[in-house]
Amino acid sequence: MSEKLTIFQKPTCSKCRATLAILKDSGVDFDSVNYYETPITQEKLRELVSKLNLTLRDILRKDEPLARDLGSISDEELIKIMVDNPDLIQRPIVVRGDEARVCRPPENVNELL
C-alpha cells in the first residue's frame, strides 16, 4: 500500500491517542485531522462511511446523550446532525486509499499498515 494514511481524530480521546502512538511507532507517513478544528463535511462523512463499508448508523456513537434522542430520522437528517455534532461520530477513523477503519480498538489500524 503506497497511499498516505489519514487519521480523523479528537486529541482528548484516549483511543485516538493510542492509535496515533501506533502510527508514530510504525514509522509510516500520515496526516492527522482534528475534526473539531477542521470539521468533517457532509460529503466527507459520506465518503468515510463508504470507505468503511458501514452504514451511517454503524458509526453513530449511540451512548452520546443526543444520539439517544434521535429516534427514527432519515439518513439525510442524521448526517447533518452528525456533522454539526462531531461527538456523535465514532473515532478515530483511519483512511488509506479506498479503505478505512474505525480504530476501536486502536490495533485495528494495523489492518491498514
Q: In the annotation, is 13 catalytic?
A: yes
* Cα-based torsion angle of the residue sequence 30, 37, 88, 64 in order, rounded to the nearest 10 degrees: 120
Q: What is the CATH number of the domain that holds 30?
A: 3.40.30.10
Write down the catalytic residue from 1, 4, 13, 85.
Answer: 13
- For the entire predicted model, the pTM comes to 0.94
31: domain range? Answer: 5-112
How many domains does the chain divide into?
Answer: 1
Beta bridge partners of 60: 89
Bridge-based pairing state of the strands 5-9 and 93-96: antiparallel
CA distance 63 to 53: 22
Q: What is the pLDDT of residues 65-113, one digit of tens each?
A: 999 888 789 999 999 999 999 999 999 999 999 999 999 999 999 999 9
